Structure 1
Amino acid sequence: MTDTREDSLRRGLDNRRRVLGDEWVEQSIARANALNVEFQRMITRYAWDGIWSRPGLDRRTRRIMVLAITAAMGRWEEFELHLRTGLLADPDDPEAAPLDVDTIKEVLLQTAVYAGVPAGNTGIAIALKVLKELGRTPPPAAFGEQAKL
């Protein structure tokens, strides 16, 4: 059986839809033009099939890595995309790479240590903005003497 570029494109689109959602992918496809269409095809085959189809890591781990790397590099638009789609992903579908607030908190604490406090701080600000937009603002927590330090 011969694997073609079209097979890779189809698998990549399937992965992309599962992780980012149909709406996001349809918007990306609708914005295709003579300048960006080859780039869209390339990242769909190379990243979304070539990497996201690999068996070595599950999709949730891959999404967590994307959050840490994009935060470390200051690629906030991609960070926010994966944060939002991870929060919106079906928590019962591991292939959709769902995220929860506790995981996001741990990713950003780890990122702050290894990539710098400003990266963690900006990541938290973006996470709070997205959570608020989704109606999932975290509850207040005690800080100081009454907190569990």
Structure 2
Amino acid sequence: MAEIGDRPAGEGIPDGERWANGMRVRREVLSDEHVDRSIANTNDLTADFQDFITRVAWGDVWQRPGIDRRMRSVAVISSLIAHGHHEELAMHLRAALRNGLTVDEVKEVILQSAIYSGVPAANTAYRIATEVYGPF
């Protein structure tokens, strides 16, 4: 049985505090510019989703103690490559640098993904990385 200190991030924390913590981490990882643009584009259709990702993804999962932000970036980049989420991939390639990865490390993550996600997926990821970082 888990001890109170071992609770997952966000458990027992009021939603308003989870949202504030999530917004702080979201801004640190994705940049103020990106988050401000997302918030400015929020409408009646997307408001609940914006609240959800801020509280749950950024307020809970991204703050769990098990792995650091560098490792989370590797996991996210790998998953986005595997699933072909190209717009999100570009955003998280930029975030990876803020989380302490180097361009050379990202290059290796993409190469590793070629084995498990396929050469076409890695090829597309290299194209997107080149658009984000410029030529390697």
Aligning the two structures, in what range does the TM-score lie when normalised by the shorter sequence? 0.7 to 0.9
Secondary structure (helix, strand or coil) at the match of 1:52 reads helix
The residue type paired with residue 53 of structure 2 is I
Q: How many matched pairs?
A: 125
2:112 equivalent among 110, 113, 117: 110
Superposition RMSD on alpha carbons, in Å? 1.2
Aligned residue runs from structure 1 range 30-41, under 5 A: 30-41=40-51
Aligned AA (1:117): V
Cα distance between partner residues in 2 of 1:130 and 1:24: 14
What is the aligned counterpart of 1:125 among 112, 124, 127? 127
Structure 1 unaligned residues grouped into runs of 5+? 90-96, 139-149
Residue 59 of structure 2 corresponds to which residue in structure 1? Answer: 49
Determine if contact 2:73/2:95 at 8 Å carries over to the other structure: no
Does 2:72 match 1:62? Answer: yes
Structure 1 match to 2:29 = 19
Which protein has the larger Cα radius of gyration, Structure 1 or Structure 2? Answer: 1
Moved over 4 A (4+): none
Q: Displacement, 1:3?
A: 2.2
Residue 60 (structure 1) shift? 1.0
Q: Offset of 1:129 from its aligned partner?
A: 1.5
Structure with the larger helix share? 2
Instruction: Choose which of 54, 67, 84 in structure 2 pairs with 1:74.
Output: 84
Q: Percent identity?
A: 45
Q: Distance in 1 between matches of 2:61 and 2:119?
A: 29
Q: CA deviation at 1:50?
A: 1.3
AA partner of residue 126 (structure 2): I
CA shift digits 1:48-91 (9 cap, x unpaired): 1110010000011101111110000000001000112333x2xx
Match of 2:4 in 1: none
Higher relative contact order (CA 8 A, sep 6+): 2
- Which residue number corresponds to residue 28 of structure 1? 38
Give the TM-score of the pair, scaled to structure 1.
Answer: 0.80
